[in-house]
Amino acid sequence: MKQTLLSLILLLASVVVYAEGTNVKGQLVSANDKQPLPYATVSVASKAVPQKSIKKFATDDSGNFTTTLQAGDYIFTFQFVGMNNFNRSVEVKNGELQVNLGQIEMSESSTELSEISVTAQRPLVKVEIDKLTYSAKDDPESSTSNVLDLLRKVPLVTVDGEDNIQLKGSSSFKIYLNGKPSNMISNNPSQVLKSMPANSIKDVEVITDPGARYDAEGVGGIINIITDKRVDEGYSGSVGANGDTFGGYGGNAYLSLKYGKFGLTGNGSYFYHNRPEAKTSLTREEMAPSPVNELTQDGTSKNYGGGLFYNTQLSYEPDTLNLFNVSVGQFGGKFHSNSSQDVLSQGARDYSYLLNNNSINHFGSFTLTTDYQRTFKKKGELLTVSYRFERNPNDSEYESEYSQVVNYFYPKGYRMKSINNAGGKEHTGQVDYVNPLTDKHSIEVGLKYIFRDNSSRGDNTFLNPDDGGQWEEDKS
C-alpha cells in the first residue's frame, strides 16, 4: 500500500512538472570582454518551423534571461545592436526541471562599405536616455495574454505571485495610460491590467526620469501603457475565457476596425474571484502572574467578488498631420468579505463570545478623454491639446456583531453598522508642445489645469438592545 501511494505521488509530481514546463536560462555576453548585453532580444522558434517565433523576450540589465518551454527541439535567436545575430539549438527533454545554457557569447558585427543589404527585426526593447520601451506588438505571446502578464516581461518591472507590481524594486511609481495618469488603473492595477488584452497594447514605456509634464515628483518612475490607436483598414477581434479551481471565472473581448479616416478600438472583460475559506486557530496560555488563564480563538474568513471593465476609443485622422481621439473607459465591481471568530477564555478570566464581521467594498472609475495631436513636417515636433474627466466612487459597508456573549463587555450582545459613501471627480486640461532642436536637445513647454472635488460621508449606527432593538446613531 505504501509503495503504491509513493508511486502515485511521484506520478502526480511528474505530471505537474510536465504541465508547468522546463525552465531555460542563460546569460548573453560580448565575446570580446565578456561584458553582459542588457535588453537584447531573444526569439524562440520550434525547430520544425524556424521562421515563426513562438516566444520573444528581452534580457535583463545583467544580460540574464529565463523562459519556460515544453519538451521539444527549439532554435534560440539572439539579437543585439552592433552584434552579429546568433542562433543556438536547444533540446528540452521530458522531465527536465531546468536547462542552463550558461554564457552565450556574441561577436561584434563588421561590414564592408561596398553594397550592403541589411535585413533585421525590430528590437523588442529600445533604450533611450530617459526611458525604456518594450514593443508589445512584436511579442508573439501578446495575442493570448493580458497586460499584467506582459509587464512580467518588461525590464525593470517585476510582478510577484500576488500580482503586486514594482518598478526597479520599489512600489513608488505611477501608471499612465497613453501619457496621462489613470486613477482607474492606479486604484486597482492588477485587476484592471488583467482585464486588458495584451493585443490592444502597442508599447510599454518605463520612464526612469520623468519630466515636469508628467507630475511625477517624489516617485521612482512611470509605467506608461500605450494603446494601439492606429488600426489597419478592415477589422479584427478576439475573445477569451478563463477559470480556476476555486470557482473563479472571467471573459474578455477585443475589437478593432478602421474605415477610411475613422478608427475604433474597444475591449471589455468581466472577472469573478472566489477565494477559498481560510481557517485560523490560536491558543495562548498565561502562566504568570498566577492564576493560569487559557485563551482560545478559532476563526474563518471568506472573500469573493467581481467586476466589469471596458474601454472604447474612437479616432479621426483627416490627414497625416492631424489626429483626433475620444476614449471612454469604466471599471467597477464589488468584493465581499465575511469572517467569524469564536473566543473562549478559561481560568483567571472566564468569558466567551462569537464575533461576526461582514463587509462589502464597492470600487470603480469612469474616465472620458479627448485629445488633439498636431504633428509637423519637422521630425519630433508635436502639439497636443487634451481634456480628461474622471469619476471615482469608493463606497463601503461594514457590519459587526457580538453574540453568545458570556461575562464580556456586551452581556446582551452588540451589533453595529458603518456605511461610507466616498468618491471624487477630477477635470484636467492640458496643452503640450515639443520641438527638438538637435538629436540630443529639445524644448518642451506646456500648461495644465486640474480641478478636483472629493467627498466622503460616513454613517455609523448600532442596535440598542435596551430600546426595543432600535438602530441608533453612534455618536462616539
Q: Looking at residue 145, what DSSP letter applies?
A: S
Domain extent for 99: 20-110
Residues contacting 411, CB < 8 A, separation 6+: 405
pLDDT at residue 304 tops 90: yes
Q: In angstroms, rounded to a whole number, what is the distance separating the alpha carbons of residues 276 and 6? A: 28
> Position of cell 518551454?
69
pLDDT at 124: 86
The total number of residues shown for the chain amounts to: 476
Predicted confidence (pLDDT) at residue 19 exceeds the cutoff of 80: no
Does the residue 235 lie in any domain? yes
Statement to judge: residues 35 and 70 lie in one domain? yes
* Domain end among 212, 228, 244: 228
Q: Quick one: pLDDT at residue 16?
A: 40
Is residue 251 a contact partner of residue 347, using CB atoms and an 8 Å limit?
no
Q: Which residues contact 300 (CB under 8 A, 6 or more apart)?
A: 277, 278, 279, 280, 339, 340
CATH code: domain of residue 101: 2.60.40.10
Q: How many whole angstroms separate alpha carbon 230 and alpha carbon 202? A: 9
Q: 85 and 201 share a domain? A: no
Q: Is the residue at 466 inside a domain? A: yes
157: which strand partners?
A: 167
Residue 285 neighbours by CB distance under 10 Å: 10
Looking at residues 65-94, what average pLDDT do you find? 92
The answer to whether residue 413 is domain-embedded is yes
Q: What is the pLDDT of residue 17?
A: 40
Pairing verdict, β 22-30 and 98-106: parallel
Tens of pLDDT, residues 180-204 = 777 778 777 887 888 788 888 889 9
Local structure of residue 465 (DSSP, 8 states)? G
pLDDT digits 0-9 by tens, 267-288: 888 989 898 999 999 999 988 7
If asked whether residues 276 and 210 sit together in one domain, one would say no
CB distance 395 to 436 below 8 Å = no
Q: Does the pLDDT at position 337 exceed 70?
A: yes
Same domain, yes or no, for 296 and 444? yes
On whether both 441 and 365 belong to a single domain, the answer is yes
Closest-CA residue to 321 (of 376, 372, 273, 381): 376
Instruction: Enter the DSSP assignment of 154.
Output: S
The verdict on 405 and 463 lying in the same domain is yes
Same domain, residue pair 86 and 147: no
Q: What rounded mean pLDDT belongs to the chain?
A: 85
pLDDT at 4: 40
DSSP characters over 391-406:
EEE--EEEEEEEEEEE
Do 363 and 290 lie in a common domain?
A: yes
Residues 128 and 100 both lie in one domain? no
CA distance 273 to 250: 9
Residue 245: pLDDT band by 50, 70, 90 thresholds? confident
Peptide bond into 50 cis (omega under 30): no
Q: Are residues 172 and 255 both part of a single domain?
A: no
The whole-angstrom separation of Cα 242 and Cα 250 is: 5
What whole-number distance in Å separates Cα of residue 303 and Cα of residue 275?
5
- Answer yes or no: do 79 and 45 share one domain: yes
DSSP code of 213? G
| Ramachandran class of 345: left when φ > 0, alpha when ψ lies in -120 to 50, beta otherwise | beta
Domain count within the chain: 3
Asked, as a colleague might, if the bond just before 181 is cis with ω within 30 of 0, I would say no
Q: pLDDT, tens digit, for every residue of 137-154?
A: 888 888 778 899 899 989
The identity of residue 241, as a single letter, is A
DSSP string across 308-334: EEEEEEEEEEEETTEEEEEEEEEEEEE
